[in-house]
Amino acid sequence: MERYDFIIVGAGPAGLFAALELAQAGKKVAIFDKGSPIEERKCPIKTGAVKNCVHCRPCAIVCGWGGAGAYSDGKLTLTPEFGGNLERTVGRQRLLDLIAEVDRTFVHFGADSPVFEPEAGYAADVIKRGRSAGLQVIPARIRHMGTDRAKRVLANFYSRLKEVCAVFTGVEVKSVLAEHNEVQGILLEDGTRVFAPAVLLAPGREGATWMERVAADLGLAVDSLPVDIGVRVEVPDEIANDLTEQFYEVKAVFDAPTFDDRVRTFCMCPHGEVVTEYQSDSGLVIVNGHSNRDRKTQNTNFAILVSTEFTQPFRDPNGYGGAIARLANMLGGTVLVQRLGDLKAGRRSTAGRIERGLVRPTLLQAEPGDLSFALPYRHLTDILEMIRALNVIMPGIDGPHTLLYGVEVKFYSLRLALDKGLQASIRGLYAAGDGAGVTRGLVQASASGLVAARDFLDRGGEGR
């Protein structure tokens, strides 16, 4: 293959924004992703070809052009308090400027959706009520594209970038080539070597375990991050409507009293559906959720996640989260679903009990079961305490018919040691996005791609 100025591993938001910036500067850029082009990313469950996950490798939900964002809820969180830790690297004002730039770019490529921001008086009342239950409710500005329209926006990115970059989908990268503390390029799974003086690693959350292996092979310094483990909650729209019509997504943080663990809400999907994801590296089926702009359900779903921190000598939070997900898969063959009332009563949910419930599940493939056989007691306690607190601002959520799907795991468990330009200790090697532990969402992942690309250009376009 040819030599390039810059190689990008991963066609998620970090990689796409870096590629756009570099191509506009006249650099010769190659993008590699093990998944499919956007128009070929089709889950067999969604097409009706199968009823249950058939463990596609790679999973079309989380891999391919656009990354996991292509099948996400399509939310652009325009508030710097959410979506990652990029502020620590670039400072608040620069992050605000980057967020605004990222938003403008998404709008340019078709994200014409409204921005949700709660009315000040209503937000103040919700914050006050939340505090009475120990909740910290944080208003955010959110542009909601929807899963369906997010795919159209990413298709527009593809149309532009394929004209100015070399795009290789369905191609898996095995490792990074480096000599004398300088990056040389990448090695593909088929043995092909591709050369460039700079490489950006942006494999996303699904690539977190791959990133760990690459970091170990290169001897890069890493820090372990907490792993987020929890459930996805599903309720009828009427329970959440008052909040979601104003906030769209309610971002709440809670210190669970029994164990003093940090618990948070994540990825609220009004009128949405619960979905599965297949983690091809680990063979796990986990739960997620999304909302479409043009196709709505009568339910709202969101995640409750417990941030689990570890002390030395343990350094495998990915493995820990995966083990819990594996237990749920072992029990049900896929993700589990349980009524909250059944969980509190110490009994498993059955198909009959789910059918008699007042919440119609949107994930029909979930297996009725008992989450207490998979989630540790500590996590279950934290989750139940969070639900009780949320009932103050979302009356009815703590009722017996609320559905809990499990498990949901966010693999953010590695953070490379990077400088202010997101360059690693090996010259010319950059890392960005969720898989590098830099971000936790679409907007900051996109911004991190810009930071890495501009650092490369500021160094003369040679990564040195």
| CATH number of the domain residue 53 falls in | 3.50.50.60
Between residues 338 and 62, the one the model is more confident about: 338
Q: How far is 462 from 464, CA to CA, in rounded Å? A: 5
Give the tens place of pLDDT for each residue, 170-201.
Answer: 999 999 999 999 999 999 999 999 999 999 99
Q: Where are the alpha helices (DSSP H) in 48-85?
A: none
Place 48 in a pLDDT band, splitting at 50, 70 and 90: confident
Question: Is residue 204 situated within a structural domain?
Answer: yes
> Does one domain contain both 175 and 54?
yes
> Does one domain contain both 277 and 335?
yes
Place 237 in a pLDDT band, splitting at 50, 70 and 90: very high
Place 224 in a pLDDT band, splitting at 50, 70 and 90: low
Lowest mean pLDDT: which of 37-46, 134-143, 160-169, 189-198?
37-46
> Does one domain contain both 162 and 231?
no
> Does one domain contain both 34 and 74?
yes
Averaged over 206-219, what is the pLDDT?
A: 88
pLDDT at 1 over 70: no
> Does one domain contain both 214 and 234?
no
Question: Is residue 429 situated within a structural domain?
Answer: yes
Q: Which residues contact 48 (CB under 8 A, 6 or more apart)?
A: none
Q: How far is 352 from 144, CA to CA, in rounded Å? A: 36
Neighbours of 191 (CB within 10 A): 7
Question: Is residue 136 situated within a structural domain?
Answer: no
pLDDT at position 121: 96
Residues in the chain, total: 464
Place 128 in a pLDDT band, splitting at 50, 70 and 90: very high
Global confidence as pTM: 0.87
pLDDT at 462 over 70: no
Place 440 in a pLDDT band, splitting at 50, 70 and 90: confident
> Does one domain contain both 313 and 256?
yes
Mean pLDDT across the chain:
91
| Contact status, residue 170 vs residue 36, Cβ threshold 8 Å | yes
pLDDT at 24 over 80: yes
Question: Is residue 361 situated within a structural domain?
Answer: yes
Place 45 in a pLDDT band, splitting at 50, 70 and 90: confident
> Does one domain contain both 348 and 427?
no
Q: How far is 456 from 47, CA to CA, in rounded Å? A: 42
Give the tens place of pLDDT for each residue, 394-424.
Answer: 999 999 999 999 999 987 657 788 999 999 9
pLDDT at 72 over 70: no
Give me the amino acid identity at 197.
P
Question: Is residue 133 situated within a structural domain?
Answer: no
How many domains does the structure of the chain reveal? 2
> Does one domain contain both 179 and 30?
yes
> Does one domain contain both 393 and 347?
yes
Averaged over 306-327, what is the pLDDT?
A: 84
Q: How far is 302 from 428, CA to CA, in rounded Å? A: 39
pLDDT at position 413: 55
Q: How far is 253 from 263, CA to CA, in rounded Å? A: 6
pLDDT at position 463: 52
The range of the structural domain enclosing residue 26 comes to 6-115+142-223+415-458
Nearest to 8 by CA among 149, 159, 183, 144: 183
> Does one domain contain both 301 and 339?
yes
Q: How far is 392 from 11, CA to CA, in rounded Å? A: 41
pLDDT at position 433: 92
Place 461 in a pLDDT band, splitting at 50, 70 and 90: confident
Question: Is residue 125 situated within a structural domain?
Answer: no
pLDDT at position 151: 86
pLDDT at position 412: 64
> Does one domain contain both 351 and 434?
no
pLDDT at 222 over 80: no
The pLDDT > 90 percentage for the chain reads 71
pLDDT at position 2: 80
Q: Bridge partners of 36?
A: none
> Does one domain contain both 213 and 359?
no
Question: Is residue 28 situated within a structural domain?
Answer: yes
pLDDT at position 271: 94
Question: Is residue 132 situated within a structural domain?
Answer: no
Averaged over 224-242, what is the pLDDT?
A: 92
